Every structure is written in C-alpha cells, then in structure tokens.
Structure 1
Amino acid sequence: MISIQTTQDQFQQGAIDKPTFIKTMYEAHHAVLFDYARYIGQTNVRKIEVEDGKVVMTSRDRGIRIACTPGDYRVAPMETLNFFDYEKEEATMMENLVADGDNFFDIGANIGWYALNIAASRRATTVYAFEPIPTTYGHLSTNLALNASANIKPHNFGLSERAGEFTFYYPPEGSGNASAVNLTGRDDVRTAQCQVRTLDDYTAETGARVDFIKCDVEGAELLVFKGGLQTIARDKPIVLSEILRKWSAKFNYNPNEIFTLFRGLGYEVYTAEDGRLARFGLMDEHTIPTNYFFLHPEKHAEQLRRWLRA
C-alpha cells in the first residue's frame, strides 16, 4: 500500500498532476475513514481519533481511551476491531467476581486494558498494575493519563519467583507477548533489561492486601505464584490466569503444576463458559481453554453460589 507521504511527494515533485493527486488522496487514503465509520458500529470501539503522531481508540461500553502503538497489531483495541470485542467471556466473569473496594493485582498489565476497565467499573477498587518492559510501561502511563485514572497504581517491574534484573524478549508487533524467555525463537525479537520482584516481598513491604490477581505473563505464571505463596495462602485472592501449554514448556514445567499448587492451598479450578463458572480438571493435549479461575470454596462461597454452573 502506498503511503500518504509518498502520494504527497509524487505531487510535490511533479510526478502526478493536481486532479490525479486529489483523486488518489481520497481513493487510496481518505476514503478509509468512512469505511471505518461504517464498520466500527458492530465492535466495542466507539471512536477512533487521529491526533498528532497518535491514534486513540475509545471503547463503546466504558469509554476507555487507549493510545495504540504503531506496529503492535495484537494490542487490545486492534484485536477488538478484528473480533468485535476482546476476551469478552473471561473479562465479563472477572468483573462479576471483583467486588467494589477490592485490591486488584494486574500482573502483566501491558498497556493497561484490564487495569483501566476494572478501575472504571469498580470505582472503589485499587488496581496495582505491574509491567516490567520500560517502553510498554511508558504506553501504560500514557493510557492512565488519557483516562485520568486515580485508582491505579502502576509499577515498572515484574513479579516472579525471585528478585533481580532479567532480560525480557518481545516481538516488534506484539508487546503483549513479552516474556523472560524468547518464546518465538525469532532473530528479530527485541530485548529489554527489566526489574523483577516477588509478590511476597511486595506485600510484606507495602502491607497491601490482595483480593484478586489477574496474571498473564506468557508462560512464567508458575514462577509468579511460587513467589507469592505466602500472600496467596494468607489472603486467598481470586485468581485469573492465562495458562498455555506451549508457553509453560518454554519454562520447563507442565501447566498442571499450577493446578496442583492451587489445589494444595485449598483452591478449585474453573473456566468461564456461557456466563457461568465450570469446574475444570487437568490439562492435556486436547484442552481448549487458555484462561482459568481459581477460587477457594470457603473464602469465595458466595461467588461460587452465584456463578457456578449447576
């Protein structure tokens, strides 16, 4: 596809005449604005703003504004344009389970999609957002400013089994796939030196209570939970975690080790299906779900009574 600047240069250099320039600018470039105006009505994107050096999308349901990152075609608003919404089943169940006033820990916050949505839907909730990649953290900070989010506390470090400085890897088109190992094996992967702490150390230092954990750290989920065992055993938070076989294999563990860990703490495992929680056993090569909820049957008896599928 020819760029707007290339068309402009062709005209300025005399390669095309004025009528051709005007027609090309509209047909090759400007007409797409009206195409989007017709298209977005079926998606959870209500508005697309083009500002100086920036594209900002606003969600239809909550009015969340997200500045999109050039080249990152896996960012939540782009995925929403593609598939009309973003992880709707899990996001809806997560919001059903978060009580107003909870402390919500967003581990692997990326650009802030989940943090911002929880902060908007649960005004009395405090969101602790952890994002280790410096450039991604910059985008997170931009989006928090765009939404004037006062109940989100951002942190430019990750959480894992032990503290230190580690190399993280991420592909140019997807900061959401950042991980402490090179998941893709590609040569064009980007790297960043990132600070990492443990959840137990953080809660011990701050005294923060943990009511809900959303963990999406591209395969390192088991390490996060091992670094927070004392906190999880004490506070018994509800946990939502992405767990993929292909990513856990990169960290040399079986994803069922996460289920065993939580069951050892008295938890049960669920997936979200048709607006309800469904009990889950063990993962095998045929397992389709990738997002799992962990609830403690005593601590979360009321949530289970309300949302567990009969």
Structure 2
Amino acid sequence: MSLPYRRGLPVHGRAFVTDGAQGLGPNSEFAGERRLNVRVSTVDAMVTAAALPRVDFIKADVEGAEPLVLAGAARTLLRDRPTLLLEIEQRHLAKYGADADALADELRRAGYSMFLWRDGDWRPVDRVTTAHRNYLFTVKPLED
C-alpha cells in the first residue's frame, strides 16, 4: 500500500493498494510516500469466513480500486444484489487502467441503477462527472 505524506504527516484518505496500479496517479502531487505491506482479502472471502447470511450494502472508497473490490465481490453481488455506494473518480481509476463510464456501464448491465445525492434526495443519473464523486447503485427501487 502507498501512504502519501504531506508536510511530514500521512494523508490516510489517499492511501491505495499498489498491486495492479500503474504509478502514483494523482498522488504524485505529494512530496513523499511510504510503502506498507498489508493483508488484502475479497468481499466474497470475508462473507464466507464470517458466514454472513446476507449482505445488503457495500461502501467502497478505495482510490480507484473500486473495480477490484467489485470483482472480489462477484458472488456476493449475484447472490444478494446489495446496494452499493461507490466513490468514482476517473483520476484515481486511471492508475489501474480503469474507466469511470465503463464501470458505471458494467453495473447498469448487471441490473443496477445509478443515483447521485442532490438537493436532499437521490436523483437518477446516466453518467459519472468530475463535479461529483459518490454514486449510489441499487437494483431495488428507492423509497420516498
């Protein structure tokens, strides 16, 4: 994992898993980084290990590795169809060779609808924009 530093302090919110990443991406703005060895697992493995009967919600803000999280949750996504809250930013996805629109399209093909929090409510949207980062994906209708 790459942990960037600014003014001698770690910037935890911008740490990312380096496996599969092609460089530092937007983290190149930081003066330095520290590489940490961390244990990584998949959602599916954690669900199995914990013997969870159901997963209703997954939130992922993993600095561009969201497609990797979803790939590691494939069985859970098919079995439980959980609602997803994902941070999607092209600038972070690019370091993994991923694309924001392709990610949203893949979820739509899997039966998910995409929403954005705006004016106190979740509003349907068709695409990812640079003006927003967090998107809700659900296969269930949103209740008023």
1:244 offset after TM fit, Å? 0.5
1:255 offset after TM fit, Å? 1.1
Match of 1:178 in 2: 15
Q: How does 1:1-310 map to 2 (within 5 A)?
A: 168-172=1-5, 173-181=10-18, 182-183=24-25, 184-185=27-28, 186=30, 188-208=32-52, 209-283=54-128, 287-296=130-139, 300-301=140-141, 304-306=142-144
2:39 is paired with a residue whose SS is strand
Structure with the greater relative contact order (CA < 8 A, sep ≥ 6): 1 or 2? Answer: 2
1:242 offset after TM fit, Å? 0.5
**What percentage of aligned pairs have identical amino acids?**
31
Post-superposition Cα deviations, 1:47-90, rounded to whole Å, max 9, x if no partner, equal: xxxxxxxxxxxxxxxxxxxxxxxxxxxxxxxxxxxxxxxxxxxx
CA distance in 1, matches of 2:31, 2:37: 18
2:37 is paired with a residue whose SS is strand
Q: Which structure has more helix as a fraction of its residues? A: 1
- Greater gyration radius: 1
Considering only aligned residues, what root-mean-square deviation do their CA atoms show, in Å? 1.6
1:187 offset after TM fit, Å? 5.5
Contact in 1 for aligned 2:56/2:83 (Cα 8 Å)? yes
2:127 is paired with a residue whose SS is coil
TM-score with structure 1 length normalisation?
Answer: 0.41
1:193 is paired with a residue whose SS is coil
1:194 is paired with a residue whose SS is coil
CA distance in 1, matches of 2:109, 2:45: 22
CA distance in 2, matches of 1:282, 1:274: 18
Runs of 4+ with deviation above 6 angstroms: none
Give the letter for the 2:119 counterpart. D
CA distance in 2, matches of 1:220, 1:270: 20
Post-superposition Cα deviations, 1:118-176, rounded to whole Å, max 9, x if no partner, equal: xxxxxxxxxxxxxxxxxxxxxxxxxxxxxxxxxxxxxxxxxxxxxxxxxx101124111
1:283 offset after TM fit, Å? 2.9
1:288 offset after TM fit, Å? 1.0
Give the letter for the 1:215 counterpart. A
Contact in 1 for aligned 2:83/2:138 (Cα 8 Å)? yes
1:196 offset after TM fit, Å? 0.7
